[in-house]
Structure 1
Amino acid sequence: MTIWNLGSVNADMVYRLPHLPGPGETLAATDHQRGLGGKGANMSVAGVRAGARVHHIGAIGQDGLWMRDQLAEYGVNVDHLKVIGDVSGHAIVALDTAGENQIIIFPAANISIAPAGLETVLAKAASGDIAVFQNETNAQAAFAAAARARGMRVCYAAAPFSVTAVQDVLPMIDLLILNAVEAAQLEAALGVDITALPVADIVVTLGAQGCRWIRDGKATDFAAPKVTPIDTTGAGDTFTGYLLAGLDQGLTMEHAIQQAQRAGAVMVTRLGTADVIPTTEEISNFFHES
């Protein structure tokens, strides 16, 4: 099977700081690096490194050709990653010594995707393939509708969080993935407990506390592996990519979640985003598995 990802592609500009800046504060960075990122690109790379076949759907500018090449080198199919205009999406990531971050995103080409072309792209998808999208592009509702019409499993990582974006696609999704803050915001906005949402599967990531899977109104909690974090950037995307790859490969939700948690745990011990997402072999070595 195949994962089809409508997702952002960003150049991540990461600055290491002694602490995250307060209002009006100027800080000197202790380190800087540029790398491939964006929630969509991170998920595509994670899916491939988990052993899945992934098609990335999105847009970059002329200045982002190196990111398309990087994705292709990592094994992601980029036939549907279009070059639109001059400027690609990019993110400014401030990272403190405890691994916490602040991120500013400029979407640029990521929000220039033609909704009308998504049906044509997905014409090559098979029933049962996985469609996934986030909130760093445009055309989410059109993509979800096209995927639904083809009998695909429609998955939505609701970040960066927007109540309106969730409401637009909620009737069309099979799997909703969000973190604890986003889950609380959604409950407050809709006035219902998240367990009552009309979605077959909901996964709420809880950081160091693990994650929660909700199905048929019943919640099952999973403890997280214990690690010392260096950088939490991209950990949630790594979790999502591995989760979807596991489901695509026929794992049960329980086993796919456990696989995804181990991947996310290794990811937070690394500095960077898409370029440092672990492979399955690296995860096994990290946990000293034979």
Structure 2
Amino acid sequence: MSPKSLNTQQTESRCLVRGSINIDEFFHVSRIVTPGETRSSTRYERRAGGKGANQAVAVAKAAGHVSMIASVGRDGDWIVNLLRETGVDVDLISVTDDEPTGRAIIQLTPEGENCILLHRGANFVPHVLPNYPPFTHCLLQNEIPFEDTLATLSHARSTGATTIFNPSPLPSHEELRSFPWRNVDWLIVNEGEARSLIDALKDSPNQPTTTGDETSRGIKDQGMSTLYALHHLPTFSSSVNIVCTLGSEGVITLLTSGESFHVPAAKLDGPVKDTTGAGDCFTGYLVAGLMESASNEDLGVQNAICMAVKAAGICVQKPGAMESIPDRMQVEGNRT
């Protein structure tokens, strides 16, 4: 499906991102290091990152108004400046002397595969939440203290804002079981995360993670079966719209109405160079699309997802995470 051009004039909707800011340290390797192995990297790079920062930048590059609440160390001033230059409101980003800016240590292969190790740093410094700015959408991940995520989610729900949760990295099983899913409007996961959610939330270890016979089904159908299984768990919430990315198979969506649809992956103009920021790019563009939608009906949501898929397709053909996120004009001008 060819998506309609989304309205870029956003005078009312504003997204609040409460999330992480990291310094990404890339080590280029011929293949991912295995346990007990020592290997030399062929190149080293330092870039701005963090799922919160990446997704905020993606919202901004998709022409969305976005503010961010976060913390950095004194070594992170350059990232705050970069966010500001990209269009993110950084007035609520604090600088601490107690910890360095969070770190992501990333192994990256020539094929674009990656392996990531995180150090939380300033992301976990106690943060006194200020008076929240006005916002209509709230986007959360899981690279800050869990209690901060819960507090922000609760506040967002009390204001009537649309809430979007991208639980990456996944919280513990205990945290997932106690999570207030009723406060979430949109859940964005990949298929592995969706299956892990079911494992955490199902009533017994023997309860299936999908519905029906999976042996003859393709990845898309298996993924949709997983979403239906998650949607019907009593420990989840039927009021959550679920968006699940399937890599090269595209994206599947299950709405609270019970309706579902599939959007195929974007056709690439060149080889995959780096998948590090693709998920954050997709999430930010999707949120910007939801901000622009007059309603969450099928057509509006499909338009938003198509735009997000196109953006992620451009993203993976460039190195880096934050700097690989395309701007709106690139995405709208990219042929499907």
Confirm or deny: 8 A CA contact 1:87 1:109 kept in the other structure. Answer: yes
Check whether the contact 2:273–2:317 (CA below 8 A) recurs between aligned residues: yes
Shift in Å, 1:113: 4.2
Alignment-mate amino acid for residue 287 of structure 1: R
Residue in 1 aligned with 2:168? 159
* Deviations, residues 139-179 of structure 1 (Å, cap 9, x unaligned): 11000001111111111001001234444231211111111
Q: CA deviation at 1:111?
A: 1.5
> How far, CA to CA, are the matches of 2:125 and 2:159 in structure 1?
24
Report the AA paired with residue 310 of structure 2: R
**Shift of the alpha carbon at 1:286?**
3.9
Residue of structure 1 in register with 2:320 after alignment:
272
Alignment partner for residue 112 of structure 1, among 100, 121, 125? 125
Given the superposition, is the C-alpha separation of residues 82 and 164 from structure 1 closer, same or farther in structure 2, using an over 3 Å criterion? farther
1:219 aligns with 2:260: yes
- Alignment match of 1:253 (pick from 288, 297, 301): 301
Partners of 1:180 and 1:69 in 2: CA distance = 35
Distance 1:164 1:140, change over 3 A: farther
Which residue does 2:29 correspond to in 1?
A: 17
TM-score by length of 1: 0.93
Deviation at 1:189, TM superposition (A): 1.6
On the 8 A contact 2:99/2:125 being kept in 1, the answer is: no
- Aligned residue among 109, 118, 132 for 1:96: 109
1:187 Cα deviation from its structure 2 partner: 1.0
Q: Kindly indicate whether the alpha-carbon contact (under 8 Å) linking 1:48 and 1:54 is maintained by their aligned counterparts in 2.
A: yes
CA distance in 2, matches of 1:286, 1:181: 29
Q: CA RMSD, aligned part only?
A: 1.6
Q: Where does 1:1-290 land on structure 2 (aligned, <5 Å)?
A: 1-84=13-96, 85-114=98-127, 117=129, 120-122=130-132, 124-126=133-135, 129-138=136-145, 139-162=148-171, 163-167=173-177, 168-191=179-202, 193-196=229-232, 197-198=236-237, 199-215=239-255, 216-227=257-268, 228-250=271-293, 252-287=300-335
Task: State the Cα distance separating 1:182 from its structure 2 match.
Answer: 0.3
> Matches of 1:232 and 1:173 in 2, distance apart?
27
Paired amino acid for 2:193: E
Query: Aligned partners of 1:86, 1:107: CA distance in 2, in Å?
Result: 9
Q: 2 CA distance for matches of 1:87 and 1:169?
A: 31
Using the alignment, how far apart are the partners of 1:195 and 1:210 within structure 2? 20
In 2 relative to 1, CA 73–143 (structure 1 residues): closer, same or farther, beyond 3 Å? Answer: same
Partners of 1:231 and 1:50 lie apart in 2 by 20
Indicate conservation of the 8 Å contact 1:202/1:213, yes or no.
yes
Structure of larger gyration radius: 2
Question: How far has the Cα of 1:112 moved from its partner?
Answer: 1.9
Distance in 1 of aligned mates of 2:180 and 2:79: 29
Amino acid at match of 2:30: P
Instruction: Give the Cα–Cα distance (whole angstroms) in 1 for the partners of residues 258 and 231 of structure 2.
Output: 5
Residues 41 and 165 of structure 1: is their aligned pair in 2 closer, same or farther, counting only changes over 3 Å? farther
Which ranges in structure 2 are unaligned for 5 or more consecutive residues?
1-12, 203-208, 210-228, 295-299
Which blocks of at least 5 consecutive residues in structure 1 are unaligned?
none
CA offsets 1:74-125 (integer angstroms, 9 cap, x no match) = 11100111112241101100011211100000011111243x52xx432x32
DSSP-derived class of the 2:180 partner? helix
